[in-house]
A and B are shown apart, each in its own frame.
Chain A
Amino acid sequence: MSDPAINAQAAPLTFRFDWIETLKHAVLIVGALIVLLPFYVMLSYSLKSQAEIEGRLPTGFFGAQQMTVDERCVARGAPDRDAIAAAATRFPGASEREIANALAREVEASCMARPVVYNYTTAFTEAPLLRYLLNGIIVTASIFLIQVLVALPCAYALAKLRFWGREAVFGLVLFCLLIPVHAIALPLYVGLSKFGLTNTYAALVVPWTISVFGIFLMRQFFMTVPDDLIDAARMDGMSEYAIVWKVMLPTAIPALMAFGIFSVVAHWNDYFWPRIVITGDRSLFTPPLGIREFRSDLDGSLYGPMMATACVIVTPLIVAFLVAQRRFIEGITLSGMK
């Protein structure tokens, strides 16, 4: 990140010191700090112990990383009567109370962990986080695949084939673009529960199988593909199906990637729809539901692990975005190009 002080120092050497430019940077930096604040909180707290988070121990970004005792682990390992009786041979001559205390100390020693290790391991053990991530991948990938399977041939037909009713179909696509799927969640939910499909993968995927936006986008793209290409393929004796998947699909890769990013980001982060159709069955939770659940059964001792969960859920897309920024921005702003 740029720093106005550094700019000001470097200025005389490289270019004329510019008050306006510095002021612009100052405004942009303040904005950037506010934008980054929750990311800072999330990452920093995922590294800290409970005491540090509650402000009882003031520490920096990384926390002190002092070994801390995991109270829940201690509670789980608390010695009962049988354990004390079994351990009596190890402490000859000690009273029952002394043995209990010695065992408690041992449990405590085995429950020591660095906050960062504790937070992230708890995030994965307290709830089936890996399962949530897997569900997220399954759902977003199947949504995207089906969207392409449905939209691509339709877009090709709308752009390159002439048939009776084509304008009507395209008109319908334009009308459907008006409908936000979230807004019709209620009748969809009623329909799915009539068929007993709530709490299934199908429920998570079905409403998104049709992307009128995808059809529209691909159609606009195919309009720019020269007819000669398709005619040449027909001359070679290719069927229309082969043309769609072997000629049109490869030419559409850049547009498809942009659309894919758009689709994956939307559905990986979607909370509303899974919240409605998945009730209770943890094995079907998507990552957003997972973190929500973590928060709702928060008993006040799991802030660190919760922030670790948030980090784990947010990181894949952020990293992908940082790696392929240009493509992501293209993909996300696609909707702006209509």
Chain B
Amino acid sequence: MRAPNQSRAHLWFIAPALVLMFLVLILPILIAGYMSLTNFSLGNDGADFVGLKNYTDIFTKSTYEKMFGATLRYVGVTVPVSVALGLGAALLVNSVTRFSNVYRTIYFLPVMAALIAMAIVWEFALHPQIGIVNTTLERGCGTWLEVWGWLARGCADGFPLWLGDRDYAIWTLCFIGIWQGFGFNMVLYLAGLTGIPRDLYHAAEMDGTKSGWEKFRLVTWPMLGPTTVFVVTISFIRSFQVFDTVEALTRGGPSKSTYVMMYAIFEKAVKQNLMGIGAAITIVFLAFVMVLTLIQRWLVERRVHYV
């Protein structure tokens, strides 16, 4: 304590934040943990304690198997592709001599635009009959482009319904997710690239590293390590939380092929008022996200020592 008048001030400075942290962040987790062991529903105060039934349901019923399947498919595709595209775009934008600002601006636009609005626009662009995507594909019919088997089949049997198609819906949502998120990753990578000292490239040249690929492998990629750890983690957390596109475009369908976790929580708890099962999914979800973030922190701390 340096000055006497400061001895009480910190309490007033810390207290509001502490109280809110407890009420808004900690307490809800405890409540969710408790609710997940009951069959609580809103408007019905007498909830029964059901033990781990909600959890055994989650890990045995086929609905939830589909939920994990859809979530993993979405995360498994969106994360690697949006990270790779982000890195690729950053390297390209960084290496061109002109217009790099223009590209950066364009690629960043989807990050700023309200995803719900753009999702609806995408739905419209992907409309099976009048959407710009299928009408453009139809123009390829009857031309040399038909050497591409997929297009030829589309011309013969009709093009996919995209969001209404059980085989395409989840991948279409992945595409929208990637479209929206890779510019964010690109900007993070661009920041990472500016942090690499020029000297390292000169040093690598002195040591006989000639090709661009070798320079990337020996200098750029290792130096981007911390950025990559962060980009991967944040992409994981963002794509685990995918909701807007699912709720607006597919509602988990067709036949639960896009039934991701956040939508499952919303549907079970908010729409069907099955709070217990919704809370159990919440807890499983939180566990996923926290483990991921802890892995990231551990990686970052380990890296700090040798970069």
Q: How far is the CA of A266 from the CA of B115 in the complex (A)?
A: 11
* B290 close to A (CB within 8 Å): yes
The answer to whether B24 and A210 have CB atoms under 8 Å apart is yes
As a 0/1 sequence over residues 19 to 46 of chain B, the CB contacts with chain A under 8 angstroms (1 = contact) are 0110011111101100100000010000
The answer to whether B96 and A28 have CB atoms under 8 Å apart is yes
The answer to whether A190 and B114 have CB atoms under 8 Å apart is no
What chain B residues lie within 8 Å of A7 (beta carbons)?
98
Distance of B2 from chain A, by nearest CB (Å): 7
As a 0/1 sequence over residues 289 to 306 of chain B, the CB contacts with chain A under 8 angstroms (1 = contact) are 110011000000000000
- Does more than half of chain A's interface fall in helix, strand or loop, or is it mixed? helix
* A283 close to B (CB within 8 Å): no
* B237 close to A (CB within 8 Å): yes
What chain B residues lie within 8 Å of A206 (beta carbons)?
24
Q: Which of A25, A161, A276 is the most central at the interface, judged by chain B CB atoms within 10 Å of its CB?
A: A161
The answer to whether A307 and B121 have CB atoms under 8 Å apart is yes
The answer to whether B5 and A240 have CB atoms under 8 Å apart is yes
* A251 close to B (CB within 8 Å): no
The answer to whether A275 and B247 have CB atoms under 8 Å apart is yes
The answer to whether B20 and A150 have CB atoms under 8 Å apart is yes
The answer to whether B294 and A187 have CB atoms under 8 Å apart is no
Q: How far is the CA of A90 from the CA of B165 in the complex (A)?
A: 58
* A182 close to B (CB within 8 Å): yes
The answer to whether A333 and B102 have CB atoms under 8 Å apart is no
**B contact residues, range:** 35 or more
Would you list which residues of chain A between 137 and 190 have a CB under 8 Å from chain B? 149-151, 153-154, 156-158, 161-163, 166, 169, 172-173, 176-190
Distance of B240 from chain A, by nearest CB (Å): 8
Q: How far is the CA of A25 from the CA of B299 in the complex (A)?
A: 35
* B128 close to A (CB within 8 Å): no
Q: Which of A27, A35, A38, A295 is the most central at the interface, judged by chain B CB atoms within 10 Å of its CB?
A: A38
* A223 close to B (CB within 8 Å): no
What chain A residues lie within 8 Å of B78 (beta carbons)?
none
* A127 close to B (CB within 8 Å): no
Query: Which residue from chain A places its CB closest to the CB of B286 in the assembled complex?
Result: A183
What 9 pairs across the A-B complex have the smallest Cβ distances? Answer: A240-B9, A187-B28, A153-B13, A210-B20, A154-B17, A157-B13, A187-B31, A310-B117, A269-B114
Q: Report 21 cross-chain contacts, Cβ distance below 8 Å, ordered by A residue.
A: A2-B98, A35-B183, A38-B179, A41-B121, A190-B31, A239-B5, A240-B9, A271-B114, A271-B243, A272-B243, A272-B247, A275-B266, A288-B244, A291-B116, A291-B117, A295-B248, A309-B117, A314-B118, A317-B114, A318-B109, A333-B187
